[in-house]
Structure 1
Amino acid sequence: MSSFIAIVRRLFPLRILLLCSSFNGLTQRAWLELRRAGHDVSVELALSERVMLEAAELAKPDLVICPFLKEKVPGLLWQRHRVVIIHPGPPGDRGPSSLDWAIADAEREWGVTALQAVEEMDAGPIWGYRMFALPVEAPRKSALYNGPVADAAVELVVEVAEKAGDAGFVPVPLDYGRPEVVGRLRPAMRHVDRVVSWSEPTEAIVRRVRAADGAPGGRAELCGLAVRVFDVYRGPALVGRPGSVVARREGAVLVHTGDGTVWVGHLRLDRADGVKLPAVMVLGDRVGHLEERAGYTEITYERSAGVGVVSFDFYNGAMATDQCRRLAAALRYAGEQDTRVLVVRGGETFSNGIHLNVIEAAAHPELEAWMNINAINAVCREIIECRGQVVVASVGGSAGAGGVMMALGADRVLVREGVVLNPHYRTMGLFGSEFWTYVLARRVGVAAAERLTEGALPVGAVEAVELGLADHVLGGGRLEFERSVLEFAERLASGGEWEALVAAKGVARADDERRKPLDAYRVEELAEMSRDMFDDRRGFRGARSAFVRKVRAEVTPGYLAVHRDGWGAGGSHM
């Protein structure tokens, strides 16, 4: 039956307009899955009521889906079209701070609901819902949103599209008397609810900050500065004055709490022009005298008899110059060991390439950008030139720009189901480096490499395998995925074909080097990047600033808003 439905959908696809506040990771996944199901999909950023109404008039959609929308849907829009909101809460939950309250209140179960837009926000009839367990350990809001919330939301988006094609389907009115309606109306979380008192227990501080991560952050005072706090972890049980900073490590600082300590990875000055940065950068000379203390690290190395694993988890996937240098050193060390397989494992986000916030905040941004791109190139080179081991990239979180190219330097690329790859630099006004002109073309061919980098569109996990960007898609949550990758690596290490694989990669790399040395790719890419970074020929300076300062877009990019061009060639249907 499901295959029959798929065939029908491709013969008679729906015309779907995605209305969103930004084309974020969840919206990208919705766009990918709906297109994969055979529907015609266009995107409009909800920049104003006029823009939203104009988009619907141009698109003439069968269905409007709002996977991530902060703005209220105009009355004329939901009165004229079926508009379905994807709300990050269980049936009956209402309000703009759903995930914040779920984490702050230590909820044990949560959900996502698809509901029809009506005059009263989040009160419309229900098209479907999904429930899932929340961990006992307080999750970061960003991890919750990009993990189980996004997984459930994408399932619902596909289900909603199927139901929209069923003439007999009627959504269920919201009724708080029904047993599945477990949510309630919650107010927007206030500034006072975000305040961090360092005299509180560590558990309370961690939960409060993680409920506000990655925006707007917990509100606190540290070293005499009013700051927003992000990226926190429990520290050792030390006794000291709450709020005093006792040590630092790899950009993080260790702060005394009411019953111990907490590592604070990132801060932002609590003012309009504040930029989210590693905590040590924000506090500057106030913590420069403190000792480095073990117990916090962004990079680890573990090994068994045949497999070595370099794990790195950089906040939001951004890799600053010093982080790249540390990662390159870790990879160099791992490559010198007597293991047969090297797994390169990313974190919640695999990698998004260079650290735009650190670059923007630098005294000389162009110089910092230049140092950063050279440092990340050194990371990529360690992966590409690891001759004595089979290198496996473990892509358990989404990746963009140089982060994708870094993974492509490996011999095998394994991606988790639901991961989104953005293998391009166009939106940031950069030509790109990270040896992309070598590793991308090596995997997909020159023509496809040009389409991917010029098209600036996201690629889903399944499509990545079809294109040759990745080798295998593995399901499950992050921990299950990592176990599966490790099992894959162990099979490679113990299998009889290992020696042949290593020999073959050595021959291939030597042949490639004779045809065109790796240094030639590096020099050519950096020549282009120097013009982008120092001469600003493609608008890198403005694009970077807009990204860092979360400047609202002025218009929806044409490659997303295809309804503004008559849906393009083959985009419409009868």
Structure 2
Amino acid sequence: MRSLNIILLSSAFNGLTQRAWLDLRQAGHSPSVVLFTDEAAVCEQIENSGADLVICPFLKDRVPHALWSNPQRPVVIIHPGIVGDRGASALDWAIMRELPSWGVTALQAVEEMDAGPVWATCEFNLPAGLRKSELYNGRVSDAAIRCIREVVEKFIDGFVPVPLDYTDPKVRGCLQPNMKQDDRTFSWHDCSRFIKRCIDAADGQPGVLASLAGGQYYVYDAHLDQRTGIPGEILAVHDDAVLVATGDHSLWIGSLRRKPQPGEETFKRPARHVLAGQLADVPVLDWSIANAPFNDEAYQPIRYRESGRVGELTLEFYNGAMSTEQCQRMVEALRWAKSRDTQVLLVKGGRGSFSNGVHLNVIQAAEDPGAEAWANIQAIDDVCAELLSARQLVVSGVTGNAGAGGVMLALAADIVFARADIVLNPHYKSMGLYGSEYWTYSLPRAVGPAMAEQLTQACLPVSAAQALQLGMVQEIGPRCPDEFSLWLLQRANSVLTDPTYAAVRERKLRVDHELIRQCRESELQEMQEDMLYNRNQFAEKCRNFVYKRKTCCTPARLVEDWARVREAELAG
């Protein structure tokens, strides 16, 4: 297969765009990214690049006429819907209607949105109970990558895409309206499962607007519970979530965003933080690992079980963000787990991201964001310290994508196992941070000093396969989350006797605790400059991230030389 120069035109360099970028590079192509800023700039960048093909993995904006009308260089949209499906709310409707299957379609951009001829399609089963982000980052992402591969192969072979024909009985999709809040609305008198489905379908953005505690809030991160009460009443608080009674049972709500006043901007925060002044008389339920380690509560952001010689600690924090308080709970859980008579401590993620490090939304909401960031980084360092000092052999199970301190938290383990096709971002620099979480110890230990420097300075994503080659990951398990969990537990049970890990077990006996202490101290000296004195504009970058400010240009690190050369030639 010949190598292509491919533009990835995207609204953001999100998880799917990163995965497409990595996959195309692995296949020998040269993808260059263009982030959609304004129409004129985007057209100029792409027209001057000399690209063979434009693929849009994640595009919220309409493709400009000047781009899609060029017959020599197709623009292919990756749409998260089956053939014939059109509209911006494809996944929302699929979840709301509890469809048994769904798909992704690659179609050529034309004047009418999502109505172009079809290049490729891939369908999949749609299990009940998935929230939108979980569906998007899992089955949709997998299908999208298969479609992108097929598009590239067909383009090289001179394929002509098939016009969309609604008279064909195999075309089951249709034009769907953009889902509005009226389509998402529920009453707390409705049953829990219906309410959860409404919230799941709006996960990430835009959330579902609901009345709660006398105010109007967008609700996110719902979990079923069997307790009962007066519908709409807050029954309890646990960790950062509030328990709200419904028509039959109740739901834990993990995150809220207050409905903004005209001209105001608000953002998601842990529910307990948002409602802090209204929870004085609400019972606080505590089934932390140290107090109730083997309970059967449905909602457990940190949970523990044992299997043979393995203690398995699962952390499931919404969007992979770990606030100061969440890190403190994790430290308590780890200390309890380390006291158990086990020989392996398996630390794994849940359904979403494994971890993305400190909680930027909680930091931004604080009265003194710099002070909260400083507290948060020390708290997550404490989590890593517990892993580095464990008597047990520590195994990380990286179940989902991870970034910044979340990657380094995984690397604090003795052995790292990753789920296939996850994406890691082992860097901090783009957020204006030097980084901590003992990265100056754990990353060089895994990949060597030179590669550690390269990874943290390049600010580029790394695939699971690359991480394996580099030494960041020791084994890759199945892509299916359920299969990976089973595989992970089996592998964790075997690492004590597997000759592959004899050197790791030996290394465990010779840990240099003084070096580890020095690494933390020097990292925090640097982070003090970043978080408390804003040396590299962390405060502004945190604010832009939280408020989802659109980038003004595509970062230079994402633009390939071939895409610059043509532009320079034309300018000259």
What TM-score, normalized to structure 1? 0.93
Shift of residue 211, structure 1, vs aligned partner: 0.5
> Per-residue displacement from partner, 1:551-573 (whole Å, max 9, x unpaired)?
111111011123553289xxxxx
Residue 352 of structure 1 is matched in structure 2 by: 356
2:252 matches 1:263: yes
Residue 145 of structure 1 is matched in structure 2 by: 136
2:486 to 483, 488, 497: 483
The SS at the match of 1:151 is: helix
> Per-residue displacement from partner, 1:65-116 (whole Å, max 9, x unpaired)?
0000011111110111201000000011000100000011111100000001
Residue 6 of structure 1 is matched in structure 2 by: none
2:132 matches 1:129: no
Asked whether the equivalents of residues 308 and 493 of structure 2 are also in contact (C-alpha less than 8 Å), the reply is no
Residue 517 of structure 1 is matched in structure 2 by: 515
The SS at the match of 1:517 is: helix
Instruction: State how far apart, in whole Å, the 1-side matches of 2:566 and 2:397 are.
Output: 36
Instruction: State how far apart, in whole Å, the 1-side matches of 2:394 and 2:143 are.
Output: 32
Shift of residue 496, structure 1, vs aligned partner: 6.8
Asked whether the equivalents of residues 465 and 473 of structure 1 are also in contact (C-alpha less than 8 Å), the reply is yes
2:148 matches 1:157: yes
Instruction: State how far apart, in whole Å, the 1-side matches of 2:341 and 2:28 are.
Output: 48
The amino acid that maps onto 2:135 is L
1:331 to 329, 334, 341: 334
2:199 matches 1:200: no
Residue 454 of structure 1 is matched in structure 2 by: 457
Asked whether the equivalents of residues 430 and 540 of structure 1 are also in contact (C-alpha less than 8 Å), the reply is yes
Residue 245 of structure 1 is matched in structure 2 by: 234
Shift of residue 292, structure 1, vs aligned partner: 1.6
Asked whether the equivalents of residues 495 and 501 of structure 2 are also in contact (C-alpha less than 8 Å), the reply is no
Identity value in percent: 48
Instruction: State how far apart, in whole Å, the 2-side matches of 1:21 and 1:357 are.
Output: 21
1:506 to 496, 505, 508: 508
Instruction: State how far apart, in whole Å, the 1-side matches of 2:444 and 2:110 are.
Output: 49
Aligned CA distance change for structure 1 residues 502 and 476 (closer, same or farther; 3 Å) = closer
Higher alpha-carbon deviation: 112-121 or 289-298: 289-298
The amino acid that maps onto 2:425 is N
Aligned CA distance change for structure 1 residues 54 and 503 (closer, same or farther; 3 Å) = closer
Aligned CA distance change for structure 1 residues 125 and 253 (closer, same or farther; 3 Å) = same
Residue 371 of structure 1 is matched in structure 2 by: 375
1:278 to 270, 285, 309: 270
Shift of residue 505, structure 1, vs aligned partner: 2.7
2:427 matches 1:427: no
Instruction: State how far apart, in whole Å, the 2-side matches of 1:120 and 1:484 are.
Output: 46
The SS at the match of 1:115 is: strand
Shift of residue 499, structure 1, vs aligned partner: 10
Instruction: State how far apart, in whole Å, the 1-side matches of 2:505 and 2:173 are.
Output: 59
Instruction: State how far apart, in whole Å, the 2-side matches of 1:133 and 1:377 are.
Output: 40
Instruction: Give the unaligned 5+ runs of structure 1.
Output: 1-8, 569-574
> Per-residue displacement from partner, 1:260-314 (whole Å, max 9, x unpaired)?
1111010000114212011010011201331123533210110022111000100
Asked whether the equivalents of residues 390 and 501 of structure 1 are also in contact (C-alpha less than 8 Å), the reply is no
Residue 543 of structure 1 is matched in structure 2 by: 541
Instruction: State how far apart, in whole Å, the 1-side matches of 2:202 and 2:239 are.
Output: 23
Residue 571 of structure 1 is matched in structure 2 by: none
Higher alpha-carbon deviation: 448-457 or 338-347: 338-347
Instruction: State how far apart, in whole Å, the 2-side matches of 1:91 and 1:179 are.
Output: 11
2:289 matches 1:297: no
Shift of residue 61, structure 1, vs aligned partner: 0.8
Aligned CA distance change for structure 1 residues 119 and 313 (closer, same or farther; 3 Å) = same
Residue 570 of structure 2 is matched in structure 1 by: none
The SS at the match of 2:495 is: helix
Residue 5 of structure 1 is matched in structure 2 by: none
The amino acid that maps onto 1:152 is A
Shift of residue 550, structure 1, vs aligned partner: 0.4
Asked whether the equivalents of residues 397 and 416 of structure 2 are also in contact (C-alpha less than 8 Å), the reply is yes
2:447 matches 1:444: yes
Shift of residue 492, structure 1, vs aligned partner: 2.2
**Count of aligned pairs between the two proteins:** 550
Instruction: State how far apart, in whole Å, the 2-side matches of 1:506 and 1:143 are.
Output: 36
What TM-score, normalized to structure 2? 0.94
Asked whether the equivalents of residues 414 and 504 of structure 2 are also in contact (C-alpha less than 8 Å), the reply is no
2:321 to 318, 338, 346: 318
Shift of residue 338, structure 1, vs aligned partner: 1.7
Instruction: State how far apart, in whole Å, the 1-side matches of 2:525 and 2:150 are.
Output: 48
Instruction: State how far apart, in whole Å, the 1-side matches of 2:480 and 2:117 are.
Output: 30
Instruction: State how far apart, in whole Å, the 2-side matches of 1:567 and 1:314 are.
Output: 45
The SS at the match of 1:59 is: coil
Asked whether the equivalents of residues 185 and 210 of structure 2 are also in contact (C-alpha less than 8 Å), the reply is yes
Residue 99 of structure 2 is matched in structure 1 by: 107
The amino acid that maps onto 2:305 is E
Shift of residue 180, structure 1, vs aligned partner: 3.2
> Per-residue displacement from partner, 1:505-564 (whole Å, max 9, x unpaired)?
33331xx34xx5211111100000000011101000000000000011111101112355
The amino acid that maps onto 2:239 is E
Instruction: State how far apart, in whole Å, the 1-side matches of 2:450 and 2:93 are.
Output: 48
Asked whether the equivalents of residues 196 and 209 of structure 1 are also in contact (C-alpha less than 8 Å), the reply is no
> Per-residue displacement from partner, 1:444-463 (whole Å, max 9, x unpaired)?
11110111000000000101
2:421 to 390, 395, 418: 418
Instruction: State how far apart, in whole Å, the 2-side matches of 1:175 and 1:246 are.
Output: 52
Shift of residue 194, structure 1, vs aligned partner: 2.5
Shift of residue 501, structure 1, vs aligned partner: 5.8
